[in-house]
Amino acid sequence: MITRPLDLASRLRPPPRNFDAWFYVNAGLLVFFFYAFGSRFILAPGLGVDFKLPRIAGSGASAAPATHHITVLESGQIYGDQGLLDLAQLRAWLQSEKQKTPNPSLLVVADGEVKIDQITAIFSAAYAAGFRVNVLAAVEPDGSAAAAR
């Protein structure tokens, strides 16, 4: 062992036989500070750098302002104003927002690789919650259509 030439092993404290009260106080304070000051976005995955909207020709013709928006990733994760949501939480959020906002509209910013069944489930939840004015899908204008103008 490398401590033998300097005889450092004899100067070390022996390991504690049990956990005293300070261990539990420190562990409790750590848990409290993570709970009180932690953010739900620290450990949650965010939007990737390869997030791409689908391209559709003439997409700017039906552009309208939206009162609410959500982001849907290829993996099926739905991000709203309150962070990561599943479909049941999204339905509850849409119901509560419908009561707060007159004539609400929902903008769904979805990755181009999101499955259509998830998009239709989100649109159905929005229509069931009362977002009947318009449900929009975020798309990029097609480059060829812009050049043809």
Reported in sequence order, the residue ranges of 25-132 that DSSP labels E, i.e. its strands, are 55-56, 68-72, 78-80, 83-85, 105-110
Dmax of the chain from CA atoms?
Answer: 84
Work out how many domains the chain is built from and give that number.
1
Residue 76 belongs to some domain of the structure: yes
CATH, residue 114: 3.30.420.270
Sheet with strand 105-110: strands edge to edge? 83-85, 78-80, 68-72, 105-110, 134-137
**First-to-final CA distance of the chain:** 79
- pLDDT tens-digit profile, the chain (149 residues): 565 677 777 888 887 677 678 888 888 988 887 777 766 555 545 555 566 666 666 656 666 677 888 888 888 889 888 888 888 999 998 898 888 888 888 888 887 788 888 888 988 888 888 886 455 566 666 665 444 44
Residue 33 belongs to some domain of the structure: no
Tell me what pLDDT residue 146 has.
44
pTM over 0.85: no
Phi, psi for 94 (deg, rounded to 5): -65, -40
Domain containing 59: what range? 55-148
